[in-house]
Every structure is written in structure tokens, then in C-alpha cells.
Amino acid sequence: MTDPPPPGSRLASRSQSLSPPPLRIWQLLGFLAFSHGWTWAWWAAATAVGESVWDWPASALFYVGGAGVFLGGVIMTGVISGGAGLRDLGRRTLDPRPIPGRWWVTLLLFYPLLTLAAAGAALALGATDRPLDLAAAADRMANPVGLVSMMVFLFILGPLPEEIGWRGFLQDRLQTRWTGLAAALAITLVWWVWHLPLLVLPGYYDAFGRSAPTPLDFLWNLIPAAILYAWIFNRTHRSVLAVIVFHFMENFTSEFLGVADAMRPHRLGLMVGIAVVVLLAGGLHDPRRRG
């Protein structure tokens, strides 16, 4: 459950941030025009260049396109709620104080511990004798500049711009009409469709040293992830910063430890199990809703 701040405290006033009005269809379409329309138009241009998306000039088109979810969240917040809404979104993105202290342990350690547990399961079940690339992890630790560069790259590539839109705008507003679970499942579909071009963009997965997953494999992974992200969002007073950190730790853990493809089903199984426990415990309940 959420840790409530002391009544009357500054933290309490911050946790009771601006409650958005119910999302209307034109507002959803406006968001999607940026998240999907903007992004796909630029990514189509990057594909048309005929080079890897990591090479100039395709890389510039790719990065500009990736800002669509961020732009949708910020622009539509401004259109709907004006300056007060933008200040609220900015506060929830930048201010760490509304995040209860014990939740920082979850944000930082959930995915490393989950990955280690999945690696142990993969070893015990004989799925692979090398679930993690620990030698590569040691090499990264020995190169602090390279490690920091990787962290910055992973932070900017997905968690920062995406979570401002997916959770900061869409989850927050869908929950004014729907349950947290319904909102998370709707976002799963939108999130999945948004990612589909990445599976075919020239050279995208080369940066991560693996082949692209199938569309269905990608979808199965997003379902428990969206539930867990909604859990974090609702249990930390709708903190966008909390979900950004959580999303970053998922991506960073996978890349830093070099998760083998053979152990990914085991990690997915653990994620599904934890997501079910979260649902049974009422972890997706929006604190703004009574009952």
C-alpha cells in the first residue's frame, strides 16, 4: 500500500498533486498524434535513408522521432490543464520527495534481484550454462567512463521521454475513468504498437548485441511490465520520477548483466508471477479513488 505522508505536512500537500480531469477521446487522439504519428513519421524517414539508425543522418531522424511520447504528454497536458498541469507534471517528474523512502529499495533493486533469481532458475533447469555475461559486466565496471556513457544512453533512449507520456499523462488520465488494471492493459496495447517499428528499423538491435524479438514475444513482456509500472506509479503518489527510475533499472540491468536469450522466459515467468501477486494485493488501486 502507499505510505501516506503526515497530514498537513509539505509532503502531504505535494502528494495531493493536481488531479487531472477525465480523458476525452479528442485528448487521447491528440496524444496519439504525437506519440505515434510524430514518431512513426520520423522513423519512416530514418528507414528511408537506408542506413543503420545509429549512423548519421538516420540517427538524427531516429532521435527526433523518439521524442513523440514525451511531446504528446507535455503538449496535451498543457492543452488540457494549462500551466498548473505542466507544473504538476514537472513536479512529479523532478521531485523525489513524494516517493516513500522504502520504495527506493524497490525501484533500485527489484530488477537486479529478479534477474539474478531468473538466472539461478535457468541454471537449475538446464536452460543455459551462461545466463549472464559476467565477464562483460566486469569489463564495464573497469571502464567508468564507458559505463556512465551507457547509463546516460539507456536513460535518455527510453525511460525519461517515454514515462512522461505513458505514465505521467496516459496512465494518470485513464485512471480517472478506468481501474488501474484496465488503464495498464490499454497502455500495454498502445505501448506495444508504438514499439513495433523498432523491430524492423535497420540496425536498431545491433546496439544491444541481439536479434529483434518477435512481435508476440515483445507483447508478452510488456503485459507484466505495464502492470508493475502502474503499481510503482500508484504506490509512489503518482510519481513519474519513480517510474522513470524503475524503467531505467529494467533496461540497465539487462544490458549491464548481459541477459542471455535462453533465460528471458524464466525472467518473464517471474515477472508474471509477481504481477499476479500485485493484482491480488490490490496494488494497482488509484489512491485518489475511494473504495
CA nearest neighbour of 266 among 130, 129, 127, 134: 127
Share of the chain above pLDDT 90, in %: 84
Instruction: Identify the pLDDT of residue 207.
Output: 81
Q: How does residue 39 score in pLDDT terms, banded at 50, 70 and 90?
A: very high
Are the C-beta atoms of 230 and 180 separated by less than 8 Å?
yes
Handedness of CA 246, 251, 252, 258 (dihedral sign): positive
Confidence of residue 17 (pLDDT cuts 50, 70, 90): low
pLDDT score recorded for residue 286: 76
pLDDT band at 139 (very low <50, low <70, confident <90, very high): very high
61-66-69 Cα angle (round to 5) = 145
Which range, of 35-39, 92-96, 253-257, 281-285, averages the lowest pLDDT?
281-285
The pLDDT score that the predictor gives to residue 69 is 98
Average pLDDT over residues 13-42: 85
Determine the pLDDT at residue 12: 45
Give the per-residue pLDDT at 1. 46
Task: State yes or no: pLDDT of 137 exceeds 90.
Answer: yes
Residue 102, pLDDT > 50, answer yes
What average pLDDT does this structure show over 109-134?
96
- Tell me: pLDDT of 10 over 70: no
Mean pLDDT (whole number) for 104-132:
97
In the chain, count of helices (H) and strands (E)?
14, 0
Average pLDDT over residues 10-35: 77
d(CA 251, CA 97): 24
- Using the structure block, give the residue that is written with the C-alpha cell 507484466: 224
In the block, residue with C-alpha cell 523525489: 96
Looking at residue 131, its pLDDT comes to 96
pTM for the full predicted model: 0.91
pLDDT per position as a tens digit, 150-195: 999 999 999 999 999 999 999 999 998 899 999 999 999 999 999 9
Give me the chain's average pLDDT, please: 92
Instruction: Quickly state the pLDDT bin for 289 (edges 50, 70, 90).
Output: low
- Answer yes or no: is pLDDT of 23 > 70: yes
Domain ranges of the chain: 10-280
Nearest to 265 by CA among 113, 71, 121: 121
Residue 209 has pLDDT above 60, yes or no: yes
